[in-house]
Amino acid sequence: MKILVLHGPNLGLLGSREPGIYGHLTLADINRQIADAASEFGVEVECKQTDIEGELVQWIGQAGGEVDGLIINPAAYTHTSVAIRDAISASKLKTVEVHLSNTHAREEFRHISLTAPVCVAQIQGFGPAGYCLALKGLVDVLHSTED
3-state secondary structure 38-92: HHHHCCEEEEEECCCHHHHHHHHHHHECCECEEEEECHHHHHCCHHHHHHHHHHC
In the DSSP assignment, the letter for residue 105 is: G
Active site residues: 22, 99
Residue 129 has pLDDT above 70, yes or no: yes
Give the tens place of pLDDT for each residue, 38-94: 999 999 999 999 999 999 999 999 998 899 999 999 999 999 899 999 999 999 999
CA distance 126 to 98: 9
Is 2-146 a domain of CATH 3.50.50.60? no
Dmax over CA atoms of the chain, in Å, equals: 44
Give the tens place of pLDDT for each residue, 11-44: 987 876 776 776 778 999 999 999 999 999 999 9
The mean per-residue pLDDT over the stretch 93-122 comes to 89
pLDDT of residue 147: 60
CB distance 61 to 88 below 8 Å: no
pLDDT of residue 103: 85
CB distance 55 to 77 below 8 Å: no
Map out the domains of the chain as residue ranges: 2-146
In sequence order, what are the residues at sequence separation of 6 or more whose Cβ sits closer than 8 angstroms to the Cβ of residue 9?
Answer: 50, 51, 52, 53, 75, 76, 77
CA distance 76 to 61: 20
Comparing 111 with 78, which gets the higher pLDDT?
A: 78
Mean pLDDT over all residues of the chain?
A: 92
pLDDT of residue 119: 98
In sequence order, what are the residues at sequence separation of 6 or more whose Cβ sits closer than 8 angstroms to the Cβ of residue 103?
Answer: 78, 110, 111, 113, 124
pTM over 0.75: yes
pLDDT of residue 85: 98
